[in-house]
Amino acid sequence: MQLYNKLSAKEREALLEEAGEERLTLSFYKYAKIGNPHLFRNHLFVTWHEQDVLGRIYVAHEGINAQLSVPAKRFKEFKEFLDGINFLKDVRLNIAIEQDLKSFLKLKVKVRDKIVADGLNDETFDVTNKGVHVDAVAFNELIEDPDVVLVDMRNHYESEIGHFKNAITPDVDTFRDSLDIIEEDLRDHKEDKKLVMYCTGGIRCEKASAYYKHKGFKNVFQLEGGIIEYARQVENLGLENKFLGKNFVFDHRRGERITNDIISHCHQCGEPCDTHTNCANQACHLLFIQCEKCAVAMENCCSDDCIEIIHLPEEEQKRRRQGIPNSNKIFKKGRSEKLKFKK
């Protein structure tokens, strides 16, 4: 019984291209009490490996957070498997607006302490006492209310390429950082203002809404299904789209376009651009915004130093990477003194 991925990303990419079959990129989450996350993790991996499902899945005692690529021809089988799990029956699936054959190249199912790294002590408040969920119709009406404070609960590199009109977009690196900032900024308006939050697919707002209610906010709302579901409802119902730009996603696509607005700039030349990339130097791997012109001129790197490194022999590159931590650049996404036009 195979419990771990054995193919490299390149090997999987070749197989996907050879097969040429349609795949669906989707995501879902569910807060639920899971007694044995490791056993549940193995159950998911065995089944999804057999179904040729790829993606990144986090399992914890508090539930599951999944981002997946599913063969279109096996979607019914995939859905029936989910419905066979008591707490996942009829769970909302956020289907991506833009599909990509290679959105995920491996199946990774990991057991974590939490399904979202929120840095909160859940024992101090009732995580089930959530805010009011609103659909796209109600959301559009709600955010026109002058007593509403609309907050983007994502990180700076996400909101940089796309956000709702008039939203507060905290300049933060982590979800946990934004919680304290918002509470401090609105501490005098916990009763007279309506706090409306949104994120990519809803999971971060799920926990944040309960947290803010615990902190004394009386009117807390969240966008049901996040930006992904909002964009789908706007298209299907012919609603006014109040989002600007792209929705950052955590797979190889790095974003899906919601509107044609380009609200960000290339971090190297300053020209309008909203295409994220990772520096080609594996020892750096910095996530940043780079236009096509700079991608050619800079050889997909973030700096001249990194260009020099990628031209070294592979063995020399590996030797230089040994013992050098790069997590600061990876997780401080889009922040580097080398990026001239990063705000």
What residues are annotated to the active site?
A: 199
Cα gap 181→327, rounded to integer Å: 24
User: Going edge to edge, which strands form the sheet with 94-95?
Assistant: 94-95, 23-31, 63-71, 54-60, 107-111
Task: Give the pairing type, strands 162-164 and 94-95.
Answer: unpaired
CA atoms within 13 A on the CB side of 102: 13
**Contact between residue 96 and residue 25 where contact means Cβ atoms under 8 Å apart:** yes
CA distance 159 to 150: 13
DSSP H/E element including 197 = strand 194-198
What backbone phi and psi angles, to 5 degrees, belong to 124? -90, -10
Residue 269 has a CB neighbour count (10 Å cut-off) of 15
C-alpha torsion sign, points 77, 82, 84, 90: negative
Largest CA distance in the chain: 62
